Structure 1
Amino acid sequence: MEDISDVEIIAPNFKQRLSGVTSTIIQLIPVQRALGQKVATLGPGLPASLPHIGYTSLLSLWCRPKSRALRVWHARRNIEMLPAIFLRDILRMKLKIVFTSASQRKHSGWTKFLVRQMDAVIATSNRTAAYLDVPSTTIMHGIDTQRFFPAADKAAAKAALGLPADKKIAGCFGRVRHQKGTDLFVDSMISLLPQRPDWIAIVAGRATGAHQAFETELKEKVKTAGLADRILFVGEHTNIPDWYRALDLFIAPQRWEGFGLTPLEAMATQVPVVATDVGAFSELLVMGDSETGILIPAKELTAMADAAASFMDDPERSKRAGERGLTRAIESFRIQGEATKIGEIYEKLLSSSS
C-alpha cells in the first residue's frame, strides 16, 4: 500500500474483469513509475505487484501531496469519471481529472456530459478523437518491446509450445466471440489450409460464459471440415509473447474494436499482419512501398482469405512486411513513448495553481 502523501496520480480501475483498459493500466504503470511519475492504482482486478492505494486513502485528498498543489485522477471509463467529479466539485478535493477515450462511436448524452467536466482528454487514435466534442490530445497506445520481440529461432519457438516446428502458423489472438471476428478467421483458414499442407492455424484466447456456445460451434465446424488437427484452439495463456513468436502470419479479424493492440504485438515480434479496418488498425499498419501488413474491410471473408493467401504464398513479401513492422513498432510505438506523452499531460495539470 502506497503512502497517499507520495502519490500524485491516481489510476482507478473500477472493473473486476480483465479488459483492454485493465491491460493498459497493468502495462503502463511500471513504465510510468520508472519514468518518475508518482502514480498508484485504486480498485480491484489488478496485480498485487502494482503500487496501489485503498479507498480509505481518498479521505486524504483534501490534503495536497508532498511536493504538489494537487493530484491528478486518470479515468478511463464513465464509472471512473463520475466519482472523480464528485470528489473534485462536491467535496472540493484538490484534484484535476484526465480522461482517456478509446471509443469509436457516438457518445451518449451522459458520457458527453461527463467528458465536458474533464480537465484534459486523451484520445487513443485520430479516429477516436473525431468522436469527441471537446479538445483532446491523441496519444496512441505503445508496446513493451522488452516483452514482445522476434524469435531468435522460429522452429525452436514453435517446439517450445508443443507446436510442429516444420509447419508455418497463422494465428488469431484475443477473446473468442463474434465481435472479435473469430469465426471469420476460422472460415478463412477452412478455405485456405486444404491447398496449403505446410500451414496450420491457432486460435489463442478464452470464450467467456456467454460466448462458449459460439466457440463450440466453431470447433464443430472445424471438425466437420476435417481440420481439427490443423486449426487448433489453444485457450488463454499468460505467456502470449511466446505464442506470437511462433507465428508466421497474424490476422486481426475484428468486426469492431476500440483500439486493438494485437496487430502491434505481432509487428513487434516481426510477424506480418492482416487486419480489418477497425479501431486504430489503419493508423498502426502501413501499406504500399513500406508495407507492414494488409488492411481489409471489416466483415469481408473473401478479402481476408485473399490477403492471408498473398502472404502465405509469398515468403519474401512476408519477410519484408515482418521486418518493416518490427521497425515501425520500435520507432513509433514503444510504450515508453506513450508513458512520456501522458506524463506531459500530468505535468501540465500538476503545475497549475488551482
Structure 2
Amino acid sequence: MGKNGDPAIIDIRDVEVIAPNFKRRLSGVTSTIIQLVPVQRSLGQKVAALGPGLPSDLPHIRYRDLFRLWSPPRGRRCRIWHARRNIEMLPAIFMRDVLRMPMKIVFTSASQRRHTGWTKWLVSKMDGVIATSGKTADYLTVKNTVVLHGIDTNRFSPPSDTAEAKRARGLDPAQKIVGCFGRVRRQKGTDLFVDSMIKVLAERRDWSAIVAGRATGPHVDFEDGLKKKVAAAGLADRILFVGEHTDINEWYRALDLFIAPQRWEGFGLTPLEAMATAVPVIATDVGAFPELLVTGEEETGLIIARDSVDAMAEAAAALMDDEPRRKAASIRSRAHALENFSIEGEAKLLGNIYRITASA
C-alpha cells in the first residue's frame, strides 16, 4: 500500500514480475495487461503493472519505484520484466545491462511480419520470448514459446435464455442474429460483412445482422457509406449498427452466428469470445484465427479466404440454413473455449515461463 493509502499501489519489495505499459492510448496490449494482471495475482503470481493508460484500481507500481530495482524482491534473485513492445524492451535492457539491476526480460511478440533490424536486435537481447500464435512464431528467429491468448470464460458465457438475451438488447427474439463486433474500418472487413449480409439476408427473412463497434476519425465516413448501402438495399431494419458497448458480452449472448471478417489481424479475440458464449464462428484466414477454430468433423466454425464477399456469403448461408449443424457447432464451441482458451490457462503458462526464465 502506498503512502496515500491506495491499495492498488504494490510495495516494490513484493513485486516479482513487472508488466509495463508505455502507451497511453488503449490498445490490444493494454487490454491484455488489464485483464491478465488480476488473474495472475489470483493465482499467486506477484505481478504489478507500470505506466499510463491503466485503471487506477489495477495493481501497479510507480515510476519512482524503478530506482529500487537494484534490490531483488523478497526471497528471489531477480525480477521479471515482461515487455510487449519495443519501447518497453529498450529501458529494460538499459536497466539490466548498464545499471546492472537484477532483472530478466521476457518479451511477447504478436507480430506477423518480418521484424526490422532494430527489433531483431532488441529481441535477441531477451532472456525469454513468447509468441502469441504459431504464425507469429514462424517470423521469429530466436527460441520462443507459443502461448495463445485466453479470455474470461465466466464473463463470456452462454445465456440461460437466448430469446430473453435478445429482448434485453432491444432485438426481436423471433429473429436469428448474426454479428460482427470490433472497430468499424476497412482493415477489420466491416464492409465485407455488410456486403455479404446484403447478399444472404434478402432470401432469409428470419435472420438479421448487427455490427457492434465504433468508427473513429477517418473511418466515420466509411461507416456512413456502409449505412447508406444498407438503406439502399432496403435492409436498414435488419442490418443494424449498434455502436460501441462496454457490456459486449451481453451482445454475444444474443447471437446465433458470429463472423470475423478481418482483412488483417495480429491475433483477434472476438472468435474466442463468441465460442466461449457458445456461438459458432466464421472467420477469415488471418491472424491466429485458423489456430483458434476447429474445422472438419468436430467443427466450431468455418475458416474462409480473406477479402472475399462470395466466400463469406456462402459460408454464412451454409450455417444459417443448417440448424442442426449450427447447434452442434455451438455446443462444441463452448467446450473448446473452456478447455483451451481460458485466461487462467494463459496466466498459468506465463507463470511457468517466468519461473524457468528466472532460474536460468
TM-score range, shorter chain: over 0.9
Contact 1:68 1:351 in 2 (8 A): no
Q: Shift in Å at residue 17 of structure 1?
A: 1.6
Instruction: Please name the residue that 2:148 is paired with.
Output: 140
Q: Distance in 1 between matches of 2:216 and 2:17?
A: 33
> Match of 1:310, as an amino acid?
A
The yes-or-no answer on 1:203 pairing with 2:211 is yes
Q: The residue matched to 2:130 in structure 1 has which SS?
A: strand
> Match of 1:249, as an amino acid?
L
1:249-264 aligned at under 5 Å gives the runs 249-264=257-272
Q: Distance in 2 between matches of 1:206 and 1:10?
A: 32
Task: Give structure 1 regions of 4+ aligned residues with deviation exceeding 3 angstroms.
Answer: none
Q: Shift in Å at residue 198 of structure 1?
A: 0.9
Q: Shift in Å at residue 161 of structure 1?
A: 1.1
Q: Distance in 2 between matches of 1:24 and 1:84?
A: 20
Match 2:70 to one of 62, 67, 92 = 62
Q: Shift in Å at residue 319 of structure 1?
A: 0.2
Q: Shift in Å at residue 300 of structure 1?
A: 1.1
Contact 1:71 1:95 in 2 (8 A): yes
Q: Distance in 2 between matches of 1:19 and 1:139?
A: 19
Aligned Cα root-mean-square deviation (Å): 0.9
> Match of 1:68, as an amino acid?
R
Instruction: Please name the residue that 1:319 is paired with.
Output: 327
The yes-or-no answer on 1:274 pairing with 2:258 is no
Match 1:172 to one of 156, 159, 180 = 180
| Structure 1 unmatched ranges of 5 or more | none
The yes-or-no answer on 1:108 pairing with 2:111 is no
Q: Deviations over 1:253-298 (max 9, x none)?
A: 0011111111111000000100001111111111111011000011
Q: Distance in 2 between matches of 1:182 and 1:219?
A: 11
1:26-175 aligned at under 5 Å gives the runs 26-175=34-183
Q: Distance in 2 between matches of 1:309 and 1:275?
A: 14
Number of aligned residue pairs: give it: 352
Instruction: Please name the residue that 1:225 is paired with.
Output: 233
TM-score in terms of structure 1 length: 0.98
Q: Shift in Å at residue 116 of structure 1?
A: 0.5
Q: Distance in 1 between matches of 2:223 and 2:83?
A: 33
Match 1:310 to one of 314, 318, 323 = 318
Q: Distance in 1 between matches of 2:185 and 2:52?
A: 25
> Match of 1:314, as an amino acid?
D
Q: Shift in Å at residue 210 of structure 1?
A: 2.7
> Match of 1:99, as an amino acid?
F
Q: The residue matched to 1:140 in structure 2 has which SS?
A: coil
Q: The residue matched to 1:171 in structure 2 has which SS?
A: strand
Q: The residue matched to 1:288 in structure 2 has which SS?
A: coil
Q: The residue matched to 1:195 in structure 2 has which SS?
A: coil
Q: Distance in 1 between matches of 2:184 and 2:75?
A: 47
Q: Distance in 1 between matches of 2:299 and 2:32?
A: 27
Q: Shift in Å at residue 349 of structure 1?
A: 2.4
Q: Distance in 2 between matches of 1:106 and 1:217?
A: 34
| Structure 2 unmatched ranges of 5 or more | 1-8
Match 2:301 to one of 293, 313, 323 = 293
Instruction: Please name the residue that 1:7 is paired with.
Output: 15
Instruction: Please name the residue that 2:245 is paired with.
Output: 237
Q: Distance in 2 between matches of 1:16 and 1:291?
A: 39
Contact 1:123 1:129 in 2 (8 A): yes
Greater mean deviation of Cα atoms: 90-99 or 250-259 = 90-99
Q: Shift in Å at residue 351 of structure 1?
A: 3.0
Q: The residue matched to 1:290 in structure 2 has which SS?
A: coil
Q: Percent identity?
A: 68
> Match of 2:66, as an amino acid?
L
Q: Shift in Å at residue 63 of structure 1?
A: 1.1
1:325-340 aligned at under 5 Å gives the runs 325-340=333-348
